[in-house]
């Protein structure tokens, strides 16, 4: 099928999380949604035609359905529902409690270290380049200093939301 941001798309959730699997299909190109639905799901053809007949923002509903149906087939309905809930939370439609999360040692100092620990960057160098390029935010604040530290406020609160670009959002829990 291709690759996810982190590597190959795997059916085994130990190699590719259910959330990443869901997101892969949620981010399929608009022109491929109908084809994927026909080939990879057991959805009714009339329903597929109805969901994919528009080439505007309504295609997002079709993509969400595609991601849910394929994730349900591979990982089960419960995990598909959880992944959908996480995606909704990560992209502003749900509770921050439902977001994908990653626990980091509370003594971790730098945002770049957090990015490598949670898998948003392969190396500290890549994390620093992303930060310098303006592609990283903590909560709603853009980070531009590659040596930015986790704020005292975030440490006191015990968590923060780390954003990489428009599509990667993780709740970081400090323990």
Decide if pLDDT at 12 tops 60: yes
Q: Above pLDDT 70, what percent of the chain? A: 93
Q: What is the pLDDT of residues 43-57, one digit of tens each?
A: 999 999 999 998 888
Give the residue from 101, 136, 139 showing the smallest Cα distance to 121: 136
* Pairwise CA distance, residues 65 & 43, whole Å: 10
In the chain, list all ranges with CATH 3.10.290.10: 101-174
Q: What is the pLDDT of residues 86-126, one digit of tens each?
A: 888 877 666 667 788 889 998 999 999 999 999 889 899 99
pLDDT per residue as tens digits for the range 126-137: 999 999 999 999
CATH number of 3-95: 1.10.240.10
pLDDT digits (tens, 9 = 90+) for 61-89: 999 999 999 999 999 999 999 999 888 88
pLDDT for res 14: 87
Q: To the nearest whole number, what is the mean pLDDT of the chain? A: 89
Average pLDDT on 7-23 reads 87
Q: Which CATH number is 101-174's, of 3.40.30.10, 1.10.569.10, 3.40.50.2300, 3.10.290.10? A: 3.10.290.10
Is the pLDDT confidence value at 145 over 90? yes
């Amino acid at each position: 099928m291709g690759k996810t941001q982190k590597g190959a798309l795997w059916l085994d959730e130990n190699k590719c999380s259910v959330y990443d699997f869901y997101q892969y299909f949620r981010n399929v190109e608009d022109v491929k949604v109908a084809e994927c639905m026909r080939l990879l799901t057991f959805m009714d053809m009339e329903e597929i035609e109805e969901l994919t007949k528009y080439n505007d923002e309504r295609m997002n509903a079709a993509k969400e359905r595609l991601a849910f149906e394929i994730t349900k087939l591979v990982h089960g309905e419960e995990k598909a529902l959880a992944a959908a809930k996480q995606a909704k939370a990560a992209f502003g439609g749900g509770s921050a409690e439902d977001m994908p999360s990653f626990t980091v040692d509370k003594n971790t100092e730098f945002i770049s270290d957090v990015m490598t620990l949670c898998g948003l960057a392969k190396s500290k160098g890549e994390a620093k380049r992303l930060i310098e390029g303006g592609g990283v935010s903590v909560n709603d604040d853009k980070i531009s200093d590659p040596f930015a530290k986790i704020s005292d406020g975030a440490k006191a609160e015990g968590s923060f939301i780390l954003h990489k670009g428009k599509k990667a959002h993780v709740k970081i829990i400090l323990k």
